[in-house]
Structure 1
Amino acid sequence: MGFERRLSLLAAAIAAAPLALAACTADQRPDGKSAGVRAAAPELALTPADRARDVPISAEVGTSVKGGRITDVRLTDEKGVQVRGEPREDASAWVPVTPLRPQRTYTAEVTATGDSGKTTTRRTTFTTTAASAKPEITSNLYFESNQTYGTAMPVTVAFDPPIPEAARADVQRRLFVRTNPPQPGTWSWVSDGSQAYYRAPDLWQPGTTISVRAALEGLPIGKDRIGDADRSATSKIGRQVSLEIDNATKQMAVLRDGKLIRKIPVSLGKPSTPTSSGKMVIMEKHQYATFDTRGDPNGGYVVDVEDAQRLTAGGEYIHGAPWSEGDQGNTNVSHGCTNVSAAAADWLMTVTQVGDLVTVKGTEVPLTEGNGWTAWNVDWDEFVKGSALPVPAGLRPAPAQAPHPGAVAGGSPAPVPSVGGR
């Protein structure tokens, strides 16, 4: 993501162009020749304010410039040790690569350069707050370093307790994602504030590098809480693989780069414990797993399985189920999982990646928002509505079309919680 990159911008020298205007627009020398227009130095304002105290350790150096651009930032502590950082993409602030330390004094020296080459330098000195005794909001970044993920992998940050709606914009401003090659996206919040997802309008391009930073340590969240940690990770996107499961045919289609490479018979959830229909993402892969559902309303069993791939937080998996091989392809007998043969499950483990898209259709219940990584279970126009910050113009949905005369508003059934199963 380049968080280790130090901000070091060089101002370009711009030669003054000859003036061909009347004396009312230029100074005159004693010999009557034009001396040229007097160029104004850029105006520059900084935050935190000079001598500010009790500044959060999540502080950034805010920069507001008129008539120029930021060309140098230097932030040091009271011992003269320099703090590394980088600018926001919109140049509105300079962000330290790690949280500041409590009860330390920092000085920021910022230089702006105008088109004429004239510069303005401003300084601000501030002191950070003492270590906070406020309770923390725990954040979990479901994106690890040095991994290869599938093309549907959303960057997911989960929060406990959930983030109140009024605080989501402040939190979202501290969630950074960079992709190489660039593939812009946006964040979107689950309605209860328990998760935020980041994705692009389309699946990631294979080979893309994604760098993430959830810079939340010490961030004031609402009136009573602070963020718990600063987390970052960088990983790559691998080959394009997707699974399509159709309840009508009881078949799973395995596609690589959009081409069918195999069909596998399946047995899905029986009517009392149906499998969810929707677009899911493989969350985990386990060679061996134990399902213990003794605390679930429709559970009460313990079973060991092999080659298990998790699809939902509620406990729906794809896994080997030798006991139901006679039903696979014709009858649903599971507790919500997708049963495949032992041989097929073993083969799938060699083909799939965490982050691959899995689409299930034709079952009795829809996938519930937030039951797993559900970023792809809505279209892009709906996804961007969940952002707590304005979405860049190039990513905004197209204007809504007026409904055709006589169109009738429809509805959808209430979501039903999924059930862990086998």
Structure 2
Amino acid sequence: MTSSTTTALLSRKGVLTWSAVLLTVGLTTSACQSVTPDAAAQGTPSASASASASTTTSPAAAVTITPRDGAKSVRPDAPVTVKASNGTLSEVTMTAASGASIEGELSADKSVWTATGGLKPKTTYTVTAKAENADGASTSTTSTLRTLTPKDTANYTVIPSSGVVGVGMPVVIQFVSPVDKDKRADIEKRVTVSATPAVKGTWGWLDGRQLIFRPSKYWKSGSKVHVTADVAGIETKKDLWTATNADTTFTVGSAMISTVNTQTHRMTVTQNGKVLRTLKVSTGRPGSKTETRSGIKVILSRESEHTMDSTTVGIPKGQPGYYRLKTEWAMRLTWSGEFLHSAPWSVGSQGSANVSHGCTNLSPSDAKWLFDHSKMGDVVKFVGSSRGLEEYNGYTMWNQTAAQWGQKSALAS
């Protein structure tokens, strides 16, 4: 009894076991047979579809800003660059704490941005950049830097600063201290002159302190001129840096061009090509150290009163030739001290003899009339003297051709 029961149980277990195996095989066979082209077309995942779904996205774009974030004592002339890897730059801004923007240039492939505007010393700048990878995903980066504090500042003035000037007035960027020769090109590259009507002209260095622009010919009356000096952040000599930019606008007035003949003792004054008056004058004694210089001069300044002092031209008090005279209606022509001015003490010689210390003497009434009709930048040409005009002695560039003046450019080849 017991034995037969046991056999039945084993037999039952065997049936169950083989049934399970047959069921498993049957299911496997059925599954393989059901993957048909039609079934796949109805949405059953295929091997290729599964591979596509698992493909990774493009790597994120990375942005590198140089100098590094938080950099200090950065030279204002140091390059500032923004570079993108694994993508392209879509936006770059650089601003000072004041809000002023710095211009920049983006490379053709949009991978590198380089600052082109000059940085000012002792200033904090913020650079913000955005780059996109191949999928259009953006990466943003912000960085700050601070420029160095210079030991001293290279100060300069733009002349004229405004107003109405004569047709011979040049544009002058005048520095307090001389600019090193190897720094002059840096200055020259960052100054511009635009005029209406347009003119051709040339920059040149009169000396180490004066960068001068002159048109090829005298300005046309009525011209509007705008000057921009984006020169902040240039080391003009060791530890001496420019700290500011500047710009100015001026207008060119009537063409007042006069000629002084030292031999006939006459001054012919013209306005826009028409003779207004011929004035009697007395100039410097011929053959002396104070003989009036020949050449084309430009009125540098006008003063209703000016004290003439021989010590400024090397004749000290107590020495022969010393003088100290208060004059009226003075118009400066040279840095060495030649003026057009009123000289009531020499009226008797005006028109017939040269008795001055180098200035052009006029009667009080003629000097007042000339003063009222003159302005800074008017042209006065002197002829008849054997003494030449030194190149540095005033705005003397009109004594050279435009091509000759152009050779004084720091950018001349």
TM-score under structure 1 length normalisation:
0.67
- Given that residues 66 and 82 in structure 2 are in contact (C-alpha distance below 8 angstroms), is that contact kept between their aligned partners in structure 1? no
- Given that residues 159 and 194 in structure 1 are in contact (C-alpha distance below 8 angstroms), is that contact kept between their aligned partners in structure 2? yes
Determine whether 1:202 maps to 2:217.
yes
Determine whether 1:365 maps to 2:387.
yes
Match of 2:264 among 240, 243, 249: 249
Per the TM alignment, residue 369 of structure 1 is displaced from its structure 2 partner at its CA by: 1.3
* Stretches of structure 2 lacking an aligned partner (at least 5 in a row): 1-63, 84-88, 106-113, 132-138, 316-320
- Given that residues 226 and 248 in structure 2 are in contact (C-alpha distance below 8 angstroms), is that contact kept between their aligned partners in structure 1? yes
Per the TM alignment, residue 177 of structure 1 is displaced from its structure 2 partner at its CA by: 2.3
- Given that residues 60 and 95 in structure 1 are in contact (C-alpha distance below 8 angstroms), is that contact kept between their aligned partners in structure 2? no
Match of 1:193 among 187, 190, 208: 208
The CA deviation string for residues 37-92 of structure 1, in whole angstroms up to 9 with x for no partner, is xxxxxxxxx9976757644446787899xxxxx99874334x7x74246689xxx9
Determine whether 1:173 maps to 2:193.
no
Q: Secondary structure at the match of 2:390?
A: coil
* Distance in 1, Cα, partners of 2:270 & 2:66: 53
Q: What is the percentage of aligned positions where both structures have the same residue?
A: 32
- Given that residues 306 and 320 in structure 1 are in contact (C-alpha distance below 8 angstroms), is that contact kept between their aligned partners in structure 2? yes
* Distance in 1, Cα, partners of 2:90 & 2:297: 45
- Given that residues 74 and 110 in structure 1 are in contact (C-alpha distance below 8 angstroms), is that contact kept between their aligned partners in structure 2? no
Structure 1 equivalent of residue 3 of structure 2: none
Determine whether 1:318 maps to 2:340.
yes
In the alignment, residue 183 of structure 1 is paired with which amino acid? V
Q: Secondary structure at the match of 1:349?
A: helix
TM-score under structure 2 length normalisation:
0.69
Match of 2:229 among 214, 229, 232: 214
The CA deviation string for residues 232-268 of structure 1, in whole angstroms up to 9 with x for no partner, is 3211111111111112221111111122221111111
Structure 1 vs Structure 2 CA RMSD: 3.6
Per the TM alignment, residue 127 of structure 1 is displaced from its structure 2 partner at its CA by: 1.8
Per the TM alignment, residue 350 of structure 1 is displaced from its structure 2 partner at its CA by: 1.9
Alignment CA distance shift 1:93-1:274 (3 Å): farther
The CA deviation string for residues 353-394 of structure 1, in whole angstroms up to 9 with x for no partner, is 111111111213111112112221211111000011258xxx
Alignment CA distance shift 1:324-1:201 (3 Å): same
* Distance in 2, Cα, partners of 1:303 & 1:126: 60
Match of 1:76 among 88, 91, 95: 95
Alignment CA distance shift 1:249-1:216 (3 Å): same
In the alignment, residue 306 of structure 2 is paired with which amino acid? A
Match of 2:309 among 269, 289, 292: 292
Alignment CA distance shift 1:154-1:60 (3 Å): farther
In the alignment, residue 143 of structure 1 is paired with which amino acid? P
Structure 2 equivalent of residue 409 of structure 1: none
* Distance in 2, Cα, partners of 1:327 & 1:381: 41
In the alignment, residue 333 of structure 2 is paired with which amino acid? L
Structure 1 equivalent of residue 158 of structure 2: 141
In the alignment, residue 105 of structure 1 is paired with which amino acid? Y
Match of 2:374 among 338, 349, 352: 352
* Distance in 1, Cα, partners of 2:130 & 2:197: 30
In the alignment, residue 240 of structure 2 is paired with which amino acid? R
Match of 2:178 among 147, 154, 162: 162
* Distance in 1, Cα, partners of 2:165 & 2:216: 17
Q: How does 1:234-273 map to 2 (within 5 A)?
A: 234-271=249-286, 272=288, 273=290
Q: Secondary structure at the match of 2:365?
A: helix
Q: Secondary structure at the match of 1:288?
A: strand
Per the TM alignment, residue 349 of structure 1 is displaced from its structure 2 partner at its CA by: 1.4
Per the TM alignment, residue 103 of structure 1 is displaced from its structure 2 partner at its CA by: 4.8
Per the TM alignment, residue 110 of structure 1 is displaced from its structure 2 partner at its CA by: 9.8
| Equivalent residue pairs, number | 326
In the alignment, residue 174 of structure 2 is paired with which amino acid? A
Structure 2 equivalent of residue 131 of structure 1: 149
* Stretches of structure 1 lacking an aligned partner (at least 5 in a row): 1-45, 65-69, 112-120, 392-422
Per the TM alignment, residue 184 of structure 1 is displaced from its structure 2 partner at its CA by: 3.2
Q: Which protein has the larger Cα radius of gyration, Structure 1 or Structure 2? A: 2
In the alignment, residue 328 of structure 2 is paired with which amino acid? E
Q: Secondary structure at the match of 1:285?
A: strand
Per the TM alignment, residue 318 of structure 1 is displaced from its structure 2 partner at its CA by: 0.3
- Given that residues 94 and 103 in structure 2 are in contact (C-alpha distance below 8 angstroms), is that contact kept between their aligned partners in structure 1? no
Per the TM alignment, residue 176 of structure 1 is displaced from its structure 2 partner at its CA by: 2.8
* Distance in 2, Cα, partners of 1:72 & 1:358: 55
Determine whether 1:95 maps to 2:95.
no
